[in-house]
Amino acid sequence: MSVYANGFVRVAGAVPVLTIAEPTVNAHRTVELVRQAADEGACLVVFPELGLCGYSVDDLFHQDALIDSCREALTEVVAATTGLRPVVCVGLPMIVGDGLYNCAAVIHDGAVLGVVPKSYLPNYREFYEQRFFSAARDAVPTTVTVDGHEVPFGSDLIFEAGDVPGFALHVEICEDGWVAIPPSTWAALAGATVLANLSGSPVTVGKETYRRNLCTGHSARTISAHVYVAAGYGESTTDLAWDGDALITENGSLLARSEQFATRDQIISADIDLDRLRQERMRMISLRDQVGDHSDRLKSLRRITFDFGALTDDDMLRRIVPRFPYVPADSVDRDERCAEVRSIQVQGLAQRLRSTGIEKIVIGVSGGLDSTLALLVAVDTFDRLGLPRSNILGYTMPGFATGDQTLRRSHVLMNSLGVSGKEIDIRPSCEQMLADLDHPYARGEKVYDVTFENVQAGERTSHLFRLANHNGAIVLGTGDLSELALGWCTYGVGDQMSHYNVNGSVPKTLIQHLIRWMITSGHHSDETTDVLTEILGDIISPELVPAGDDGKIQSTEDTVGPYELHDFFLYHITRFGYRPSKVSYLARQAWGDRSRGPWSDLLAEDKRNEYDTATIDHWLGVFLKRFMGNQFKRTAMPNGPKIGSGGSLSPRGDWRSPSDASARVWLDELMRGPSA
C-alpha cells in the first residue's frame, strides 16, 4: 500500500506566518513546517518567494544587515534538513558577483543542491523589482559559494532523484511563471516532471481565479505537476494585501489548495502520479516533436542528481481517486457532461442518417439500460432533424427468459415516446434453429448453455437486419463500452453488430447517469420518466436463461463481475497503461472506504458498495482475461462516435491490439505486485 511503491510522490506547499525583515524568526517557522512535511511523508516542500525575509521589504533589500541575516537563516534551515527526506525550496536575496538576485535555494539532507535566480523581474504597477535585483540572464557566475561549498547557480537547473524514477524538479520564481514562455517550459521539454514556483503575488480582486487557471493550464501544457506557493500573512500591508495562496496541480487538475487569507501557518500536500505523467508524455508525440525542435537549448540544461533514501511509507494516498472515473462527482459538472455526451451521440447519428440519405432506423428495445439510452438518443436525433418519431421502428423480441415486467416496460417506453413499437416473438425461430442444431433443449432437456443463449441473441440481430432491409432503414446498435471491454456480447450476427452504434464508447456506469439525467431534465412525459426510473432500479440481465427454481433471474454482474469495478479497471488500464498492481492499489483507495471522497451522491443508498483486496484482485483478474481474450470482437465493431477522453475501443480510433495476445504478463504482474 506504499504511496511511493505505486508510482506516486508526495509534494507540499508551505505558507508560514511571516515576520517582516526578521530572517531568524522566519527560519524557525520554516524549519517547523519542513519537519511537519517530513513527518507526513513529503519528498518536496516549497515555500514563498523571498520567504526568509519577506517579499515586501523594498529598499531594505539593499541593507547589508538584512542580507547577512538571510544568509545566516539559510544556514540554519540547511542544517535542520539533515536526515530529513524532503527537498526544500526557500526564497531569499543573495549577492552573487556584483549583483543582488532574488533566489530560491534548493536544499536536501543538510546541503544546498543549487541556487536558482529569478529570470524575469516585474517593474510595472505595484512591482519595482528591477530597482533591487539583477535578472538571471545578467549573472556571469554559474556557481555560488554557500557556507563554504560551491554549488550550481542559474535558472537552467534540473534536480533529479536517482532513487525515484521520473522525479525531476525545476524551480522558478513568481513572474517567471506568468510570462509567455516560462523557464519551466524548457525544463519540462527537457524532462522535468515537477515544476515549483516560489511566488510573492499580492492579492487583488479576481487574482485567485487567474492563479488557478494559470497553474492548471501550465501543468496541462507541460504535462507536469506544478507546486505554486504565494506569500501570506505577515507581509507588509503598506499598499498591498497577501492571501497565502498555494496550489498543487497535475496535468490540468487541481489536487490541493490552501485556505485564502489564513492568519496561521499552512501546509498543503498531495500525491502526484509520476506514472501518469510519464505515460502521457510518451503518448504525446507532438510534445516529442517540440523537444526535437529545441534540442540544442534543452541539452544545455544542467542536471543535479541526489537520492531521497528509504521511501517505505505505508500511507493512504493523498489525492481523490474517483470511484467512477467516467462520471464527474460534482453534480453540476455531471449534468454538463451528460448534456455533452447526449449531444455527441445525437450529432453522430444525425450525420450518419444525413450522409446515407436514410430516414428510418430499426432498434431492438429490451427494456434494459443500453437499448433505452439508444432509443432516447434516436428520439432526440429525429426531433433535431425534423423527422417523425414514427420513423423509429422499435421492436421488442421476447425470448425464453424475457420477464413480464421487462416486456411491459419495453412497450410503455416505445408508446410513451411516440415511436413505432412492435413485438416479435423469437421463440419459434429459435426453437427451429435449436432443432436444426440437434441441441438438447430441442429434445426437452433443460440445457441452457452458450449455444442456447447465443441463438436468441443472434436471432434478434438477424431479425433487425432483415427488418432494416425491408423498411429501408439502418440498424441502431445498443451495446456499450463496458460490454465490448469484457467481450460480453455475441459476435457476428449478434448484439455486437449493427449499422451504427451510438453507445459504443459509453461505459455502463455513465449510461446509468445519462438516463438519470434525462429523467431530471424534464424533457419527457411522466409516463416516460416513470418507466425510466423502473429501468434504472432493475438488475442488469441479458434475460437469456430462464429463472431457477428459486425464482432468481440471470444476473450479468453475478457472472462477469460488478460493472462499477470493471469500468474503473478499464479506464486506468486503457487510458494510462497502468500496471495491474497499480490499478488494484487505486481501486483499494477508491472502494475500500465509502467515506473517502465526494462520490456518495453518485450511488443509490443500496449501492454504496465496498470491496476488499481479495475481491478487487479477483475481478481484476477476470477483467484482464476477458479483455485480452475478446479483442477479435472489437476489431470488427461497427462505427460510432467517440464520446470521452477516457477513450474508445475502436480499432480505427483509440485502441489497436492484436487479437492473439495473452493476458499472462498482466496477470503475473498482478500476482507479483509493485515491489517485484
For the stretch 363-380, what's the b/e string if a residue is b when 16 or more beta carbons lie within 10 angstroms of its beta carbon? bbbbbbbbbbbbbbbbbb
100 touches 129 (CB < 8 A): no
User: Among 38, 597, 5, which Cα is nearest to 314's?
Assistant: 5
Q: Has 483 been labeled as part of a binding site?
A: yes
Helices 369-385 and 404-417 meet at what angle, rounded to 10? Answer: 10
Alpha carbon distance, N-terminus to C-terminus of the chain: 14
Q: Is 491 annotated as a binding residue?
A: yes
**361-364: strand order across its sheet:** 420-423, 392-396, 361-364, 474-477, 500-501
Which of 356, 357, 362, 269 lies closest to 318 in space, CA to CA?
A: 269
CB 73 within 8 A of CB 91: no
124 is in an annotated binding site: yes
> Would the annotation count 83 as a binding residue?
no
Mapped onto helix, strand or coil, the DSSP state of residue 192 is: coil
- Give the contacts of 71 (CB within 8 A, at least 6 positions apart): 92, 94
Instruction: List the grid coordinates of 74.
Output: 539559510
Q: Is 207 annotated as a binding residue?
A: yes
Is 369 known as a binding-site position?
A: yes
User: How buried is residue 470: exposed, middle or buried, by Cβ count under 10 Å (0-12/13-18/19+)?
Assistant: exposed
φ, ψ (nearest 5 deg) of residue 273: -100, 95
| Residue recorded with cell 517557522 | 29
The verdict on whether residue 639 carries a ligand-binding annotation is: no
Q: Residue 573 in contact with residue 663, Cβ under 8 Å?
A: no
Report whether 371 belongs to an annotated binding site: yes
Give CA 491 to chain center in angstroms: 32
Q: Which residues does the annotation mark as catalytic? A: 49, 118, 174
- 148 labeled part of a ligand binding site: no
CA dist 102 and 398 (Å) reads 76
Q: Is 478 annotated as a binding residue?
A: yes
Q: Is the CB of residue 572 less than 8 Å from the CB of residue 583?
A: yes
490 is in an annotated binding site: yes
On whether the CB atoms of residues 290 and 189 are closer than 8 A, the answer is: yes
User: Which residues are paired to 306 by β-bridges?
Assistant: 161
Q: Annotation-wise, does 366 bind a ligand?
A: yes
For strand 149-152 and strand 143-146, is the pairing parallel, antiparallel, or unpaired?
A: antiparallel
Q: Is 454 annotated as a binding residue?
A: yes
Q: Provide the sign of the torsion angle of the four alpha carbons 619, 625, 629, 635, taken in this order.
A: positive
241: burial class by Cβ within 10 Å (0-12, 13-18, 19+)?
exposed
Angle at 252 between CA 251 and CA 258, to 5 degrees: 105
Residue 275's closest CA among 378, 377, 173, 167?
Answer: 167
642 among annotated binding-site residues: no
| SS3 label, residue 106 | strand
Q: Report whether 368 belongs to an annotated binding site.
A: yes
Q: Cite the annotated binding site for deamido-NAD(+) by residue number.
A: 454, 483, 488-491, 633
Enumerate the known binding-site residues for ATP: 364-371, 478
Binding site members = 124, 201, 207, 364-371, 454, 478, 483, 488-491, 633
* Annotated binding-site positions for L-glutamine: 124, 201, 207
